[in-house]
């Protein structure tokens, strides 16, 4: 499989601060990658480098020419008070296809309805975006990302602030889109226990450390204990992995919790 994104010995940071050093990995076509770590660890730094808004301080970050991203921001970054209907929010995803200064036409509206159908909420097209539940808003934002016909779907904390049911539904939808549409998916999250049960690969980012691999390889007690700096157990329940700090575990050099 060809790589859509490649990091080679990349150092990333802001001003005089280096967040991550000597990072090397690829996102191949068809991948389903979860980038996981606590707030401030460097997840957003990697995301910004992929999207082209942050240049590496050293090394290279390469994106395949012409690659189209479908970006789903954190819901908190979207102004839910702005008086827009759901269909209007989704049609925003057509703007770069339409061109500067042009208005969406009937074809763009039809594609937007199709995207809403794809995520299961076409019946909400004429509702005010601000009136939706958290899960419905997230589906709307995913539809906005899909309507631009992306090569890679990129989601930033897609389950932030959601209850268990909404979280399960959104992660299930993303997994379905990956499988049915053959979409390459990159999902950034702080919730290891959620992400690990849906993605194919995991990149752990923590306190300047970076480790990437298949879920079975990364979700092991030795790897996670070394990465997080405390002993952890990886339990299985009904086919799902759950990472928990070992009873009596104390913070060591890296000082964090296993479910960060």
CA distance 184 to 188: 14
What is the Cα–Cα distance from 100 to 92, expressed in whole angstroms? 12
Mutual angle of helices 134-146 and 106-118, in 10-degree steps: 130
The predicted pLDDT at position 248 comes to 67
Q: What is the mean pLDDT of residues 37-43?
A: 87
In the predicted structure, residue 114 carries a pLDDT above the cut 70: yes
**What's phi and psi for 71, nearest 5 deg?**
-100, 130
Q: What is the pLDDT of residue 78?
A: 76
Nearest-Å Rg of the Cα atoms of the chain is: 19
Contact 59, 42 (CB under 8 A): no
Q: Which region among 17-26, 40-49, 249-258 has the lowest average model confidence (pLDDT)? A: 249-258
Residue 1 in this model has a pLDDT that exceeds 60: no
Question: What was the pLDDT predicted at 100?
Answer: 63
* pLDDT attached to residue 102: 72
Q: How many angstroms from the chain centroid is the CA of residue 208? A: 20
Query: Which residue did the predictor score with more confidence, 163 or 185?
Result: 185
**Other C-beta atoms lying within 10 Å of the C-beta of residue 41:** 23
Structure tokens at 74: 């954190």
Helices 134-146/164-180 angle, 10° precision: 20
> Mean pLDDT over residues 50-73, rounded?
95
Helix (H) or strand (E) holding 235: strand 232-237
Average pLDDT over residues 73-79: 78
Q: What pLDDT does 249 receive?
A: 59
What average pLDDT does the segment 177-183 reach? 94
Condensed to tens digits (0 to 9), the pLDDT of residues 137-148 reads 999 999 999 999
pTM for the complete prediction?
Answer: 0.88
- Asked whether the beta carbons of 217 and 229 are under 8 A apart, the reply is no
Averaged confidence pLDDT in the chain: 89
pLDDT of residue 77: 74
Distances, alpha carbon 197 to alpha carbons 114, 168, 241, 243, in Å: 28, 10, 7, 11
- Is pLDDT of 127 > 90? yes
| DSSP symbol at 181 | S
């Amino acid at each position: 499989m060809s790589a859509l994104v490649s990091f080679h010995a990349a150092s990333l940071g802001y001003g005089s601060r280096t967040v991550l050093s000597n990072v090397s990995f690829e996102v191949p076509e068809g991948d389903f990658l979860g980038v996981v770590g606590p707030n401030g660890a460097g997840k957003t730094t990697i995301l910004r480098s992929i999207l082209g808004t942050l240049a590496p301080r050293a090394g290279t970050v390469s994106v395949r020419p012409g690659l189209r991203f479908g970006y789903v921001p954190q819901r908190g970054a979207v102004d839910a008070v702005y008086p827009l209907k759901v269909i209007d929010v989704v049609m925003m995803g057509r703007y770069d296809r339409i061109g500067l200064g042009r208005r969406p036409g009937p074809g763009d509206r039809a594609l937007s309805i199709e995207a809403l159908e794809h995520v299961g909420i076409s019946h909400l097209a004429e509702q005010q975006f601000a009136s939706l539940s958290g899960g419905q808003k997230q589906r709307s934002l995913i539809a906005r990302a899909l309507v631009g016909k992306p090569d890679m779907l990129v989601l930033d904390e897609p389950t932030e602030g959601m209850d268990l049911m909404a979280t399960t539904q959104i992660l299930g939808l993303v997994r379905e889109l990956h499988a049915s549409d053959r979409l390459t998916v990159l999902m950034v999250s702080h919730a290891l226990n959620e992400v690990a049960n849906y993605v194919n690969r995991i990149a752990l980012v923590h306190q300047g450390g970076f480790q990437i691999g298949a879920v079975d390889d990364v979700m092991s007690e030795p790897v996670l204990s070394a990465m997080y700096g405390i002993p952890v157990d990886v339990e299985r329940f009904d086919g799902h992995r759950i990472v928990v700090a070992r009873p009596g575990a104390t913070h060591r050099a890296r000082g964090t919790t296993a479910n960060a």
